[in-house]
């Protein structure tokens, strides 16, 4: 059973592999390997404090566990779907064991297994008996996280059927994002505090060992202290929890097609008659606003954007730091474009109605207005509220410049990306078991987060000059400049997207229908569009890797270290250049900037190539 | 349940009645010429020529994978052909799409709709996109929901509709703007017999009042009962087309179909393990 499912999984992955997916898989694998190597390294260090290594390990295992639990909520659909096996006359538990076995085949599991080797390394350093305990402990730990991940997938699928549950999963994702991006603060705090030499507080040690991810560490420690009953008890507890999870998970596999939470529509509303509300664009806006209100998938988008912006601004308050508060609004505008960058895919093949009525222009503009009404009103409210709360009057020119530029740029970029880089997912009525299933957009989001900052550049430069030259007129001119940039970009990118929608509507529809990109083969008709140049598998792999690594090299590994070097600060965090010996710091930072520029140039060149006609001039 | 000719909404009956005179010598309701689509090197639709006379009730039949949906998608402008053309009442679908699309009502097979609207909201939305008068939208929507027996689902979103209800609301969207030609892909699939009866009556009345209908189906009896003109598609090609009586000759349409669809009758051999 297990080997059949593994072969099936590998066949599906092989058949759906594209250059872009391969690039993502490789990038993910490399980042995972780095994380695993760091975890193993933690088991080899020799800090002076008592019990620091097991505490550090237990802490890291909590992070791995969180990653496994949250991962399935972020991801789209699993490769092997339970529905595939719904009609097989097979006990649910057997199916669960089979699916579990197949779940072990994957980059993520391999990387995690490598990371959990750190427990064995730690055990070996403690002696023969702890080493003997550490091997089953590490294996059980791996089984436990994979099972917890499967179980959480089922649980989240269950809760997400209604809007409240979707909002909850969205907030959970936002919290995970905030914690990940703020993780380096925790690292800095640990590194600079006395913890490494005095040991963690005992309460902290107890908590990280009480979480199932810490039971393995506790078992190895008990073996070292000769507390045999405790070591065996810990291992037995891990087995018992795994059994319980397997049992619970296999129960959820049995009950397919749970009722979705029914969301009700309006009743007997007549058609609007006033000229403003009866137009085509107004009709689309009304349809979109209803969808934003009723669709759990959109509730999740809203929750992620709101949760991320508020979380990022509010978390520093725990350190008494209020300087981030005014930036919650601009952050929200930026994150909206990053998350809502695939707005056509959730409606799927309903695009045929737009094509049939020839309302591509009204459809796109209507979606833009709805986006502005939803995210714009939230952004403005949060900006005004939080800036007033912070009491920083100097922040006003900045936020007034940033908000319109980021919102306008965002509404342009989000819709442009939705059309140009469509990532189709299953149609709404074909995903009754999990309304949150969607097309995967990791590239789009990664690119948009950085590109989404660009619309603010002119306005920010105006404010910067105003500040540097102490010129009040320039300082306050940022707002109008931002507004002008925002309005122009929203209008212009929308116009480009409309042109694309008109020219490529049938191809987009085909892509949503089949999940594959459409190819129009020009047989004889000169009217037929010239096909686009296809990138080879290697080229699209290079393009994908360049889009991911380019911005990473340029900004966080290039520009930021340069700024830190200029400022003469000492924080190394994860900046490669700062770990170098002194004479190499500047060259490495500059090399990173150059490498980032080169990779971005490659990425843009290949992307432009893929959207040009194969035979120019024909 | 409303039945017979009363089932036809007044507004639609009026609209369709007005173009009866056009059907005599005017251009055909739908003209496909050399339509071709190639998927992965295999022609799904291979140089299809088809003429649907104005005022006819046209049935397109063929086995699974014959290319019916692909051909109809290209005919109505939802899939770009690799070669060939499609025109509606003489208006080319791909060079003058706006005028051509205004003339037709389409029911595609298993495509999504704006799923988070109710039936009434959906029809109102579409009426506004089509630029209809608000009073006409409200009135036609009411009548269509009544005819399709969807009024009991007033506050149900389309995403929660059953397969049959989806078909019916899809048909309502195709009828709403009183088109001159209806192109329906498998309109009776999953529709219960009572609703099917009402739908048949609507379509028959639509054609009697001068409208034209093209429908694709697997159900030969239904095509024989409704259509006056048929075409049989096999493996991307039209193998027979013309008035129903000419195509089926002395036998039934089913017999003709099985004869033309060829070697697909394998029921008598193989699968011996099934009965042993």
Confirm or reject contact between A283 and chain B (CB < 8 A): yes
Best probe of the B interface among A258, A295, A353, A508, by most B CBs < 10 A, is A353
Counting one residue from A and one from B, how many pairs have CB atoms under 8 Å apart? 149
ipTM: 0.85
CB contact under 8 A, A355 and B114: no
Assigned domain for A271 exists: no
Confidence of residue A583 (pLDDT cuts 50, 70, 90): confident
pLDDT at position A34 over 70: yes
pLDDT recorded at residue A532: 47
Tell me if A268 and B120 make a contact (CB, 8 A cut-off).
Answer: yes
Q: Measure CB to CB from residue B128 to each of A271, A290, A528 and give the nearest one.
A: A271
Tell if the CB–CB gap between B154 and A268 is shorter than 8 Å: yes
> In chain B, which among 153-192 make CB contacts under 8 A with chain A?
154-161, 166, 173
Contact across the interface for A527 and B95, Cβ inside 8 Å: yes
Angle at B46 between CA B40 and CA B50, to 5 degrees: 145
Interval A120-140 mean pLDDT: 91
Q: Are B68 and B230 in contact (CB under 8 A)?
A: no
**Contacts of residue B137 in chain A, CB cutoff 8 Å?**
271
Instruction: Give the nearest partner residue to B82 out of A352, A513, A523, using CB atoms.
Output: A523
Asked whether residue A364 falls in the same domain as residue A405, the answer is: yes
B129 closest CB neighbour out of A260, A283, A428: A283
User: Is residue A284 in a domain?
Assistant: yes
Helix (H) or strand (E) holding A456: none
Task: Give me the mean pLDDT over the A498-510 stretch.
Answer: 92
Name the percent of chain A lying above pLDDT 70. Answer: 87
Of the ranges A177-181, A218-222, B269-273, the best mean pLDDT one? A218-222
Portion 88-117 of B in contact with A at CB < 8 A: 94-95, 97-98, 101, 106, 108, 111-117
Q: Which two tokens stand for residue B159?
A: 């995403």
Whether A345 and A408 map to the same domain: the answer is: yes
Both A407 and A298 in one domain: the answer is yes
A390 and A502 belong to one structural domain: yes
Chain A interface disruption, residue of B35, B129, B156, most A CBs within 10 A: B129
pLDDT at residue A525 is higher than 80: no
Any CB–CB contact under 8 A between B47 and chain A?
no
Q: Please report the beta strands in B151-276, taking only residues with DSSP state E, as ranges in sequence order.
A: 181-185, 212-217, 229-234, 237-243
Q: What pLDDT is recorded for position B8? A: 43
| Residue A8 falls inside a structural domain | yes
The A residues from 331 to 350 touching B (CB cutoff 8 Å) are 347-350
User: What pLDDT is recorded for position B20?
Assistant: 40
Residue in A356, A429, A502, A514 to test binding to B, most B beta-carbons within 10 Å: A356
Q: Each residue's pLDDT tens digit in chain B (276 positions)?
A: 334 444 444 444 333 333 444 445 689 999 999 999 988 788 889 999 999 999 999 999 988 888 899 999 999 999 999 999 999 999 999 999 989 999 999 999 888 999 899 999 999 999 999 999 999 999 999 999 988 888 888 888 998 888 888 888 999 999 999 999 999 998 888 788 888 888 888 899 899 999 999 999 888 888 988 999 999 998 889 988 899 888 888 888 888 888 887 755 555 567 777 776
* Local structure of A200: helix, strand or coil: coil
Q: Do A34 and A182 reside in the same domain of the chain? A: yes
Q: Do residue A286 and residue B78 have CB atoms under 8 angstroms apart? A: no
| Stretch A150-167: mean pLDDT | 78
CB nearest B114 (choices: A262, A287, A510) = A287
Q: Phi then psi for B237, rounded to 5 degrees?
A: -120, 150
CA–CA dist A593, A596 (Å, integer): 5
What's the confidence (pLDDT) of residue B2?
A: 39
Q: Identify the domain containing residue A599 by its residue range.
A: 538-610
Residue whose C-alpha is closest to residue A296's, from A160, A431, A432: A160
Give the residue among A264, A573, B77 at the shortest CA–CA distance from B87: B77
The answer to whether residue A143 sits within a structural domain is: yes
Q: Are residues A376 and A473 in the same domain?
A: yes
The last residue of a domain, from among A518, A552, A569: A518
Check whether residue A490 and residue A571 sit in a common domain: no
pLDDT value of residue B5: 41
Contact by Cβ (8 Å): A560, A575: yes
Interface check A263 vs B, CB under 8 A? yes
Q: Among B78, B137, B161, select the one facing A506 at the smallest CB separation.
A: B78
Chain B residues closer than 8 Å to A531 by CB: none
- Does residue A133 have a pLDDT over 80? yes
| pLDDT tops 70 at residue A569 | no
Residue B103 near residue B29 (C-beta atoms within 8 A): no
**Which residue from A271, A356, A429 is facing B134, i.e. has the nearest CB?**
A271
Dump pLDDT digits (tens) for A57-96: 998 898 898 888 877 666 545 666 666 777 777 777 788 8
Distance CA A459, CA A400 (A): 9
* Rounded CA separation B258/B251 (Å): 11
Count of domains observed in chain A: 3
pLDDT at A387 over 80: yes
Which A residues, 583 through 612, put their C-beta within 8 Å of a C-beta on chain B? none
Q: What tokens were used for A261?
A: 């939470």
Contact assignment for B77 to A356 by CB distance below 8 Å:
yes
Q: What is the pLDDT of residues A376-385, one digit of tens each?
A: 999 999 999 9
- A268 lies in some domain: no
Tens digits of residue pLDDT in A322-379: 888 999 999 999 999 998 988 998 888 999 999 999 999 999 999 999 999 999 999 9
Do A327 and A454 lie in one domain? The reply is yes
Q: Torsion angle, CA of A328/A332/A333/A336, rounded to 10 degrees?
A: 170
The answer to whether the CB atoms of A268 and B134 lie below 8 A apart is no
Which of residues A483, A518, A553 is at a domain's end? A518
The shortest C-alpha distance from B208 to chain A (Å) reads 25
Same domain, A511 and A543: no
Domain membership of residue A44 (yes or no) is yes
Question: From B104, which residue of chain A is nearest by alpha-carbon distance?
Answer: A356
Using pLDDT thresholds of 50, 70 and 90, give the confidence band for residue A42: confident
Residues from chain B contacting residue A163 (CB–CB below 8 Å): none
Give chain B positions within 8 Å (CB) of A426: none
Same domain, A208 and A69: yes
Chain-chain contact of B121 with A529 (C-beta, under 8 angstroms): no
User: For residue A523, is it within any domain?
Assistant: no
- Could you tell me if A139 and A195 lie in one domain? yes
Q: Are residues A549 and A471 in the same domain?
A: no
Out of A203, A237, A254, pick the residue that ends a domain. A254
Three-state secondary structure call for residue B232: strand
According to the model, what pLDDT value does residue A175 have? 84
Domains of chain B: 4-264 (3.40.50.300)
Q: How distant is the Cα of B85 from the closest Cα of chain A, in angstroms?
A: 9
Residue-wise over A380-402: b if at least 16 C-beta within 10 A, else e?
Answer: bebbeebbeebebeebbbbbbbb
Nearest CA in chain B to A531: B82
Helix (H, G, I), strand (E, B) or coil at A167: helix
Higher pLDDT, A518 or A53: A53
Q: Which residue has the tokens 């009135």?
A: B139
> What is the pLDDT at residue B9?
45
How far the first Cα of chain A sits from its last, in Å, is 55
Q: Does A281 touch chain B (CB under 8 A)?
A: no
Mean pLDDT value of segment A215-231: 91
Within a domain: A457: yes
Q: Measure CB to CB from residue B111 to each of A262, A352, A524 and give the nearest one.
A: A352
Nearest CA in chain B to A297: B116
CA distance B172 to chain A (A): 13
Put simply, whether B49 touches A (Cβ < 8 Å) is no
Q: Is A472 on the interface with B (CB under 8 A)?
A: no
Instruction: Please give the pLDDT value at position B268.
Output: 59
């Amino acid at each position: 059973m297990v080997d059949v499912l593994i072969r099936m999984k590998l066949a599906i992955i092989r058949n759906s592999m594209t250059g872009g997916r391969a690039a993502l898989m490789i990038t993910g694998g490399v980042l995972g390997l780095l994380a695993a190597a760091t975890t193993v390294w933690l088991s080899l260090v020799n800090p002076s404090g008592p019990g620091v290594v097991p505490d550090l390990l237990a802490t890291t295992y909590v992070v791995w566990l969180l990653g496994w639990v949250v991962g399935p909520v972020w991801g789209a659909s699993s490769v092997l779907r339970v529905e595939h096996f719904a009609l097989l006359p097979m006990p649910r538990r057997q199916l669960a064991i089979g699916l579990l076995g197949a779940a072990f085949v994957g980059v993520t599991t391999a990387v995690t297994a490598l990371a959990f080797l750190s427990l064995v390394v730690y055990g070996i350093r403690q002696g023969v008996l702890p080493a003997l305990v550490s091997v089953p402990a590490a294996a059980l730990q791996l089984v436990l996280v994979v099972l917890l991940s499967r179980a959480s997938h089922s649980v989240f699928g269950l809760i997400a059927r209604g809007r409240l549950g979707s909002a909850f999963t969205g907030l959970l994702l936002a919290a995970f994002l905030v914690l990940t991006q703020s993780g380096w603060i925790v690292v800095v705090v640990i590194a600079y505090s006395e913890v490494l030499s005095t040991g963690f507080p005992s309460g902290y040690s107890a908590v990280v060992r009480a979480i199932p991810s810490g039971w393995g560490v506790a078992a190895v420690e008990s073996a070292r202290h000769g507390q045999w009953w405790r070591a065996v008890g810990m291992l037995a507890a891990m087995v018992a929890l795994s059994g319980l999870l397997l049992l619970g998970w296999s129960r959820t596999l049995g009950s397919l097609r749970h009722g979705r939470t029914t969301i009700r529509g309006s009743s007997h509303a007549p058609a609007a008659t006033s000229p403003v509300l009866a137009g085509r664009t107004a009709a689309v806006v009304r349809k979109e606003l209803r969808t934003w209100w009723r669709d759990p998938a959109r509730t999740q988008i809203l929750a992620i954007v709101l949760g991320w912006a508020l979380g990022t601004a509010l978390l520093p308050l725990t350190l008494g730091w209020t300087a981030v508060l005014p930036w919650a609004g601009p952050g929200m505008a930026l994150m909206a474009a990053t998350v809502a960058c695939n707005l056509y895919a959730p409606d799927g093949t309903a695009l045929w109605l737009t094509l049939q009525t020839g309302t591509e222009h009204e459809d796109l503009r209507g979606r833009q207005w709805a986006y502005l009404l939803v995210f714009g009103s939230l952004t403005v409210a949060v900006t005004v509220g939080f800036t007033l709360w912070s009491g920083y009057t100097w922040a006003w020119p900045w936020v007034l410049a940033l908000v319109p530029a980021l919102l306008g740029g965002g509404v342009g970029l989000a819709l442009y990306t939705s059309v140009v880089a469509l990532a189709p997912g299953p149609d709404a009525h074909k995903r009754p078991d999990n309304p949150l299933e969607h097309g995967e957009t990791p590239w789009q989001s990664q690119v948009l987060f950085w590109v989404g900052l660009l619309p603010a550049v002119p306005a920010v430069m105006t404010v910067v000059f105003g500040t540097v030259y102490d010129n009040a007129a320039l300082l306050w001119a940022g707002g109008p400049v931002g507004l002008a940039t925002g309005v122009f970009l929203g209008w212009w990118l929308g116009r480009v997207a409309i042109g694309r929608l008109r020219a490529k509507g049938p191809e987009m529809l085909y892509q949503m229908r089949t999940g594959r990109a459409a190819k129009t083969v020009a047989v004889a008709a000169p009217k037929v569009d010239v096909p686009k140049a296809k990138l080879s598998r290697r080229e699209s792999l290079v393009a994908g890797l360049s889009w991911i690594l380019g911005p990473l090299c340029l900004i966080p590994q290039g520009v930021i270290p340069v700024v830190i070097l200029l400022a003469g600060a000492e924080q190394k965090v994860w900046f490669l250049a700062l770990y170098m010996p002194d004479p190499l710091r500047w060259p490495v930072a500059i090399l990173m900037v150059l490498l980032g520029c080169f990779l971005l140039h490659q990425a843009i060149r290949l992307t432009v190539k893929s959207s040009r006609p194969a035979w120019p001039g024909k | 349940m409303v039945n017979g000719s009363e089932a036809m909404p007044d507004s639609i009956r009026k609209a369709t009645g007005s173009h009866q005179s056009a059907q005599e010598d005017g251009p055909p309701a739908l003209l496909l010429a050399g339509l071709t689509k190639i998927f992965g090197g295999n022609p799904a639709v291979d140089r299809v020529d088809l003429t649907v006379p104005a005022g006819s009730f046209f049935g397109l039949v063929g086995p699974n994978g014959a290319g019916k949906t692909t051909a109809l998608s290209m005919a109505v402008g939802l899939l770009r052909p690799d070669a060939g053309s499609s025109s509606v009442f003489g208006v080319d679908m791909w060079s003058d799409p706006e005028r051509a699309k205004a003339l037709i009502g389409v029911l595609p097979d298993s495509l999504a709709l704006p799923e988070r609207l109710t039936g009434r909201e959906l029809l109102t939305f579409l009426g506004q996109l089509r630029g209809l008068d608000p009073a006409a939208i409200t009135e036609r929507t009411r009548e269509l929901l009544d005819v399709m027996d969807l009024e009991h689902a007033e506050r149900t979103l389309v995403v929660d509709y059953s397969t049959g209800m989806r078909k019916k609301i899809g048909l309502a969207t195709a009828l709403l703007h009183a088109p001159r030609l209806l192109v329906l892909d498998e309109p009776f699939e999953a529709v219960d017999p009572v609703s099917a009866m009402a739908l048949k009556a609507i379509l028959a009345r639509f054609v009697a009042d001068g409208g034209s209908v093209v429908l694709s189906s697997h159900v030969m009896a239904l095509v024989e009962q409704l259509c006056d003109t048929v075409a049989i598609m096999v493996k991307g090609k039209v193998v027979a087309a013309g008035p129903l009586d000419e195509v089926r000759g002395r036998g039934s349409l089913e017999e003709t179909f099985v004869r033309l669809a060829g070697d697909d009758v394998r029921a008598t051999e193989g699968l011996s393990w099934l009965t042993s």
